[in-house]
Structure 1
Amino acid sequence: MTDGLASEGRVLLGGDLEFELNHQEATPEQRAFLESRGTVSRVASIRAMARGGNGEATLSELKAVDGAYPLVGAVETNPPVAIEDALSEQNGSFGVLAAPALLDRLGIETGARIRIGNAEYEVRATLAKEPDAIAGGIDFGPRILMSDAGLAASGLIQPGSLVEWSYRLALPEGASDDAIRTTREAVSSAFPDAGWRIRDRQNVSPRLERNIERFTQFLTLVGLTALMVGGVGVVNAVGGFVDRKRETIASLKCLGASGGFVVLVHLVQIMALALVGVVIGLVLGAAMPFAVAWGLGAMIPVPFTPSVDGLNLALGASYGLLTALAFALWPLGRAHDVAVSALFRERIGGVKGLPRLRYRLTGALALTALVALAIAAAYDRYIAILFVGAAAAIFLGLRLIASLITWAARKLPRPRQTELRLALTNIHRPGALTPSVVLSLGLGLSLMVTVVLIEGSLRRQLTGNLPEMAPSFFFLDVANTDGDRFETFLRERGADPQIERVPMLRGRVVSLKGIAAAEYPTTPESEWVLRGDRGITFSSAPPEGSTVTEGSWWPADYDGPPQVSFGAELARELQLSIGDEVQVNVLGRTITARIANLRDIQWERLGINFVMVFSPNAFRGAPYTYLATLSYPDGAGAEQERGLLRAVADAFPNVTAVRVKEALDTVNALVGDLALAIRSASGVTLVSSILVLAGALAAGHRHRVYDAVVLKTLGATRKRLLAAFSLEYLMLGATTALFGVLAGSVAAYAVVTQVMNLAFFPDITGAAIAAFAALLLTVFLGLVGTWRILGETPARHLRNL
């Protein structure tokens, strides 16, 4: 995806460079300067209500283009039609191209007429492909493409309207990256106070690229978790391997082989197998992007260029080999100093004791290298360090739980019931499955519980308290001359609605504390404030939903130098304090203000609030619009809300109405898709846990056969053995599931409260379902392996004892 963005950046941006302004168009001098460098196309973007002939209305994203659009790429329509013909004025109305979703929402078909603002338009085709769609960011309504003359006819462009004017510049064919950089610097030097945001084909969507990098890191952490679970499988497999090779090891030692030679021979075998596994993984991983491009390429909204990335393949191979080495040395090294007689004689207990110091140090070095590699290769090293710490804590916790289970089973009074007594004995006997089952199951379950609880908290945060606090509608672009009339209109059509109205402008932060915004140090949580335009307002009193925590508010009749109130949380992230200087560019004019106070803001109310609130005298005489909200104290039905939406669209065609429920449905859909992606990726770890758990049970097969043969010889029935093994797996699974729920809950709480800075809402049901599924899985896999053992006849095995 990153390669696709880089290679197709010119098409995605619509040119080599883009210069974006809010509220105002470029001056003739600015436009002439750009045209002296290449070909220029102007695009205007604005949100507006689209109304169908049946009275239905919906929020839409308008995009008005000039005759030069698109400079790069092509617009594809259904049915095919030339863009000039589709957007031209014919029979007294302009044409538009609309996203298929618009026709669905309005219940219309191609050829129908819709009303936007004060004008009527004909939908001449639907948009099949928009080459520069990604450059506009996330849309909250269906796209409508029209001509700039068509937008002018709508009457939507008023002083203070939330319009984004983008000027795409295509340099002469074959322009190098140096030419782009030179042009960018020349425009910035010529118009330092223009207030525009500049992008080029090398950074079409910095936010998207950052999100791709973050998701890549998440996938890396999931992969590392799966590898750690696989490391437990390596321990189980190597332990079983050494157990089965006792006679071979004893023979080698009898012939004079040293312990180090024996360990080295078997380590070479193990690492050779690990290398085979790594190669298989690399081949599958390298092929996966090509499979995705073939099967899902049309569904991916950005250019997807499958390729073989040697660096990342080498990184993956390093992860795999280091994991195998780190986890294999401990169980393999313990065989070094075991006496030959013990190897021949010990049939049940397995190899005990700590390996020699050399093996412990080598294993520790391999593990340290694995950790260092994970941190060094991470996009966010802080998150990587937290992951490593959490993984180590869960590993130690699971090992401690396994030891406690073994100790408790040994210390508990011997029950009278034979099956229960056998189950407890199996848990603490030499060579028991307890450590393997607890580690393999506990890691996967902990991650799944963490994911489930984080998702539940996000959903609860978005929707949990909405009926009590959230408004029903947001209204944008209410002209300042229509403010009182609009509020009266709403009150006449609602059941005593609560209406909040504040003035709104758009401004871009130019500098903080005298440091240019582009150079100001930020954190991941605060950098968004300095990117693009921000909504700002002015007020003589503190806004509702916020509390002044430091400093004081200006008097109602304040007429001194401009002052600003800043959000306290963001001020802390940006290291701002009372008296610091803030410069913002509004409508091409730079305003300098000093921070008078800091506020705690209750964003979860979904009411009207702003990071920056200025003193009223800061924008005296500047054109502005109102932003308004409407809430029904006793709630409102869907039909009542839709009726109000239609009434506002008819009476105030220039006002944009956003129904909060629809916006939240859009957000919930995005959260749901993200949760599905996260669960799917996390499922890799769960599948690894299942395979390792099955492998752990298989590794204990030899001891299980021995137990079953001895017990059957002494008269135990298949039913009694089955009950004993079931109780063993049930106790191990229940204890591990309890720890997994607790560890996952702690991890989710830390992520939600410390990383996301949100309130934590535990999803008990989701965690309980995950724990119950893990319990059933343990019992099922255990019994599947045990069933074949119970069918073994004692005679064949007794001959070999």
Structure 2
Amino acid sequence: MHGTLPQTAEPERRAPITFARLPLTLRLALRELRGGLAGFAVFLACIALGVAAIAGVASISRSLSDGLGREGRRILGADLSYSLINREASQTERAALDAEGRVDVIATLRAMALAGEKGAALVELKAVDQRYPAAGEVITEPQVPLENLLAERDGVFGAVSDPALLTRLDLKVGDRITLAGRPFTIRASLLSEPDRIANGIGFGPRLIISRAALRSTGLIQPGSLNRWSYRLQVPGSSDADLIAMAERIAKAAPDAGWEMRSRANADPRFAKSIERFTQFLTLVGLTALIVGGVGVANAVHAFVERKRSSIATLKSVGAPGSQVVTLYLTQVMLIAGFGTAIGLAIGASLPFMLDALFRNDLPLPLNPTLAPGELALATAYGLITALAFAITPLGRAHDIPVSGLFRDTVDPSGQQVRLRYRLVLAGALAALIGLALFTAFDRRVALIFITAAGIAFGLLRLVGFGLMAGARRLPRPKRAAPRMALANLHRPGALTPAIVLSLGLGVTLLVTLSLIDANVRRTLTSTLPAHAPNLFFLDIPAAEADAFHTFLGQAAPGGKIERVPMMRGRIVALNGVPVDKIKPPEDAAWVLDGDRGITYAEDMPEGSTLVAGTWWSAEEARTPLVSFDAELGRSLGLVVGSSVTVNVLGRNLTARIANLRKVEWRSLGINFVMVFSPGTFRGAPHSDLATLTLSGAGDPKAENAILRDVARSFPSVTSVRVKDALETVSDLVGKLVLAIRGASGIAVIASLFVLAGAIAAGHRARLYDAVVLKVLGASRGRLLAAYSLEYGALGLVTALFGLLAGTLAGWVIVTKVMRLEFTLDLTGALAAAGLAVIFAVILGLAGTWRILGQKPAPYLRQF
């Protein structure tokens, strides 16, 4: 049988999206990338490192902010908190709070804990009620309900102590201490309290007692320094409900002068500190990215060198220059995208890694989360930086003829990059500057950083070209190695500009950090104790002030005693404008944030110098006048004749500025931002503040004996040893410096990558030189000697520039930003500069060692 098979219709297929359908430029770029990323290791490392730094800092900051927001009620201990200084709420104020929900009361103050012959120690005392904590959990050892630990047994109240107090006074759980002559039994050690962050930085270990126990001590007296916090618990309330409650409370008690916080902004000062520190670390990350941009430029330059034959081929078959640049720019940006993705992955994972490794040790609530906005910002930084530093070396290939591409190694074209590519560069730089300014917490700091970075780049370029010009004009040495080294500094395609730029940035950063670190630590540990008081005494009852003065005179013969009245108050208005409507500069905002110590005096305090106005006479002192710190006054727009309104003990008092004075704060003597005339607070309850400066350098044993005797004879007086306070501040500064060093280390690592990339970028030229010289009879030792001299000269000049620029930057930061006295301590700076020279020589020789071992024949055929 003959027949045909039935024909079946072939099913209709949807045409797949094939590689061939991609645009030609993208297709060619992807095809070339099939060969791998050889030669782009430094490129990827520089981009990934900078993006990881920015993304990591931003992600951790967002996680901290989210943690503060999520744990706001636990941190604050309430939905709303109202704090008063030196007094309890009046009946009217308390009624306004009680009308909105349940109110818990916490009192905090400083006191002296006495442990018999073992000595005395300053403690941060916290008195709580039976319902504490309303949110979170107090963890103790042993873990017993807090109410039981603090209860009165056989006439003795209990206390929960920070382990640091037990260590300091050689105590253990079950031992007794006295507060203002009242015995307390330490029934547990404190491991964690949920609202510790909201309490701020303390200068002593925490000691928790009950409010009933605090009442029994007699520490709460008119004028004593204490803070009363009224914590409003409103379960189920929304943020809008809290806003409405706050408005009703403000209307019911308009002159209370209290500080209000809500769970949505549990610690605004801490949140602001996070933002400031985040900005600084972000700028450091941006520094790493910009430094890495130099590595990008070097890598792209080397890439163009490797692609000369491909570029020549494309041009010889009719490809226009713009298409060639677009092709390789596409390829470079694809690689930059890959490096950015690596950096984003590292940066985004940092909060999760931090939480997994240190969850139980972190003092702050961390809510690890992906932050799309912050990651998008890091992506923009990475890609724009890659574009900015890649466009110029790529743009050079546009107008170079085919023949020029082959002789560019020995005779580089001096033709300028086309205007279109310079405009792209300008646009990319403008975008980087715009991003840095737009996202900055303090735009002034960001602008200073941008200006400093631009100046540094410009100066380093001048140093590089100046070194080449100087080497070109120097007489040629007679010996071969020095002559070759000198020629290498200025020959066509010399590495001089790239190495000076990359190494110079790293040395400058290292020197700057070294000088800042040295000056901060010197200020905290060396200079201050030489002219600062040894002991401060707070809460001296006015009725006992003369007796206390006499006691100190007998306890420390020859010591210098200063004593002034002291109160606490909050600035509530300037020139009649409420402070919540004033936007002060960042360096002066602190004086309007929270309460300040204030005093009154007939005569100008020591350590002050009048800048404007005159000090009040005896007759003028009867009227409300104030002397204001001159620098802060200028920042706040205050002049002689301006008015300042402060809330003290629940009353608003307005005084006219009689004068502005410069205050020497570094002496740590008694001085205040505001000193009022005696008539301003005549009859107001207050306590005294006193300082004692021992003769000579001071004896720790004598200080401890005075502390113990004061705690026994004047139990309500709080004593602070300046050394302990400085150690607390020094420890905090040390942690900040460590974080800064870690972040800045990323920038230094980036500069090392760039240095390696610069040497790699000159590989082809060095290979050409080595082959020709070896054919002419040069030995490996002679070539190594020449390269050693070359890299040594580059390292020496760059180190000198880094020393000068880093010293200038350190001086500006220490004196203008930190407002500290600057001392030139080049110990660490010289070590950093010396290591830079050694590293430049070693890395340069390591990069050329393999070249010197190559046989000439295969390369002569290529050249």
TM-score (norm 1): 0.98
Structure 2 counterpart of 1:758: 820
Whether 1:284 aligns to 2:346 is yes
Which among 266, 273, 297 is matched to residue 211 of structure 1? 273
Whether 1:386 aligns to 2:439 is no
Structure 2 counterpart of 1:471: 533
Whether 1:618 aligns to 2:656 is no
> Which whole-Å CA distance do the structure 2 matches of 1:614 and 1:559 have between them?
9
> Which whole-Å CA distance do the structure 1 matches of 2:764 and 2:316 have between them?
25
User: Secondary structure of 1:260's match?
Assistant: helix
**Higher mean C-alpha deviation, range 748-757 or range 11-20:** 748-757
Whether 1:553 aligns to 2:615 is yes
Is contact 2:514–2:828 with CA below 8 Å preserved after alignment?
yes
Is contact 1:40–1:68 with CA below 8 Å preserved after alignment?
no
> Which whole-Å CA distance do the structure 2 matches of 1:164 and 1:581 have between them?
27
Question: Which residues of 2 match residues 355-374 of structure 1 at below 5 A?
Answer: 355-374=417-436
Assess, with a 3 A threshold, how the Cα gap between structure 1 residues 169 and 617 changes in structure 2: closer, same or farther.
same
Q: Could you list the per-position Cα deviations for residues 44-94 of structure 1 after superposition, in whole angstroms to 9, with x for gaps in the alignment? A: 001011122443211110000011211111111111110110110112211
Which among 187, 192, 196 is matched to residue 133 of structure 1? 196
Whether 1:237 aligns to 2:313 is no
Question: Which residues of 2 match residues 83-482 of structure 1 at below 5 A?
Answer: 83-171=146-234, 173-350=235-412, 352-482=414-544
Q: Counterpart of 1:102 in structure 2: which amino acid?
A: L
> Which whole-Å CA distance do the structure 2 matches of 1:8 and 1:51 have between them?
36
Structure 1 counterpart of 2:76: 13
Q: Could you list the per-position Cα deviations for residues 581-617 of structure 1 after superposition, in whole angstroms to 9, with x for gaps in the alignment? A: 2221211222222111221111111100111111112
Q: Counterpart of 2:463 in structure 1: which amino acid?
A: I
> Which whole-Å CA distance do the structure 1 matches of 2:716 and 2:411 have between them?
82
Is contact 1:335–1:351 with CA below 8 Å preserved after alignment?
no
> Which whole-Å CA distance do the structure 2 matches of 1:296 and 1:420 have between them?
55
Is contact 2:409–2:493 with CA below 8 Å preserved after alignment?
no
Q: Counterpart of 1:43 in structure 2: which amino acid?
A: I
Q: Could you list the per-position Cα deviations for residues 644-695 of structure 1 after superposition, in whole angstroms to 9, with x for gaps in the alignment? A: 1111111111111111111111111111111111111000000000011111
Is contact 2:161–2:190 with CA below 8 Å preserved after alignment?
yes
Structure 2 counterpart of 1:589: 651
Structure 1 counterpart of 2:110: 47
Tell me how far 1:6 sits from its aligned partner: 0.9
Tell me how far 1:558 sits from its aligned partner: 4.7
Q: Could you list the per-position Cα deviations for residues 131-156 of structure 1 after superposition, in whole angstroms to 9, with x for gaps in the alignment? A: 11111111110001110011112221
Structure 1 counterpart of 2:790: 728
Q: Could you list the per-position Cα deviations for residues 696-742 of structure 1 after superposition, in whole angstroms to 9, with x for gaps in the alignment? A: 11121122222122222222222111111111110001111111121
Q: Could you list the structure 1 runs, at least 4 aligned residues long, displaced by more than 6 angstroms after superposition.
A: none
Which among 543, 554, 563 is matched to residue 501 of structure 1? 563
Q: RMSD across aligned C-alpha pairs, in angstroms?
A: 1.5
> Which whole-Å CA distance do the structure 1 matches of 2:562 and 2:128 have between them?
35
Tell me how far 1:351 sits from its aligned partner: 5.3
Whether 1:654 aligns to 2:654 is no
User: Secondary structure of 1:518's match?
Assistant: helix
Which among 77, 83, 86 is matched to residue 23 of structure 1? 86
Q: Could you list the per-position Cα deviations for residues 517-574 of structure 1 after superposition, in whole angstroms to 9, with x for gaps in the alignment? A: 2223311122222222111111111111112222222223556431111111111111
User: Secondary structure of 2:415's match?
Assistant: coil
Is contact 1:271–1:321 with CA below 8 Å preserved after alignment?
yes
Assess, with a 3 A threshold, how the Cα gap between structure 1 residues 564 and 344 changes in structure 2: closer, same or farther.
closer
> Which whole-Å CA distance do the structure 2 matches of 1:416 and 1:116 have between them?
85
Structure 2 counterpart of 1:699: 761
Tell me how far 1:748 sits from its aligned partner: 2.1
User: Secondary structure of 2:392's match?
Assistant: helix
Is contact 1:51–1:115 with CA below 8 Å preserved after alignment?
yes
Structure 2 counterpart of 1:4: 67
Is contact 1:506–1:534 with CA below 8 Å preserved after alignment?
yes
Q: Counterpart of 2:70 in structure 1: which amino acid?
A: S
- How many aligned residue pairs are there? 800
> Which whole-Å CA distance do the structure 1 matches of 2:773 and 2:835 have between them?
31
Which among 626, 630, 643 is matched to residue 568 of structure 1? 630
> Which whole-Å CA distance do the structure 2 matches of 1:565 and 1:510 have between them?
17
Question: Which residues of 2 match residues 638-653 of structure 1 at below 5 A?
Answer: 638-653=700-715
User: Secondary structure of 1:341's match?
Assistant: helix
Q: Counterpart of 2:618 in structure 1: which amino acid?
A: A
Q: Counterpart of 1:236 in structure 2: which amino acid?
A: N
Tell me how far 1:272 sits from its aligned partner: 0.6
Which among 67, 73, 82 is matched to residue 145 of structure 2? 82
Is contact 1:243–1:351 with CA below 8 Å preserved after alignment?
no
Structure 2 counterpart of 1:779: 841
Is contact 2:224–2:687 with CA below 8 Å preserved after alignment?
yes
Is contact 1:541–1:556 with CA below 8 Å preserved after alignment?
no
**Higher mean C-alpha deviation, range 327-336 or range 569-578:** 569-578
Is contact 1:118–1:155 with CA below 8 Å preserved after alignment?
no
> Which whole-Å CA distance do the structure 1 matches of 2:813 and 2:698 have between them?
36
> Which whole-Å CA distance do the structure 1 matches of 2:419 and 2:651 have between them?
71
Which among 509, 520, 526 is matched to residue 582 of structure 2? 520
Tell me how far 1:510 sits from its aligned partner: 2.1
**Higher mean C-alpha deviation, range 713-722 or range 277-286:** 713-722
Unaligned 5+ residue runs, structure 1?
Answer: none
> Which whole-Å CA distance do the structure 1 matches of 2:410 and 2:356 have between them?
53
Q: Could you list the per-position Cα deviations for residues 377-418 of structure 1 after superposition, in whole angstroms to 9, with x for gaps in the alignment? A: 111111111111111111110111000111111111001121
User: Secondary structure of 1:45's match?
Assistant: strand
**Higher mean C-alpha deviation, range 755-764 or range 343-352:** 343-352
Structure 2 counterpart of 1:788: 850
TM-score (norm 2): 0.91
Q: Counterpart of 2:208 in structure 1: which amino acid?
A: L
User: Secondary structure of 1:465's match?
Assistant: helix
User: Secondary structure of 1:537's match?
Assistant: strand
Unaligned 5+ residue runs, structure 2?
Answer: 1-63
Is contact 1:478–1:625 with CA below 8 Å preserved after alignment?
yes
Q: Counterpart of 2:433 in structure 1: which amino acid?
A: V
> Which whole-Å CA distance do the structure 2 matches of 1:514 and 1:347 have between them?
72
Q: Could you list the per-position Cα deviations for residues 301-337 of structure 1 after superposition, in whole angstroms to 9, with x for gaps in the alignment? A: 1110111000011111000110111111100110111
Which among 769, 772, 776 is matched to residue 714 of structure 1? 776
Q: Percent identity?
A: 53
Which among 130, 136, 140 is matched to residue 67 of structure 1? 130
Tell me how far 1:273 sits from its aligned partner: 0.4
**Higher mean C-alpha deviation, range 528-537 or range 283-292:** 528-537
Question: Which residues of 2 match residues 667-686 of structure 1 at below 5 A?
Answer: 667-686=729-748
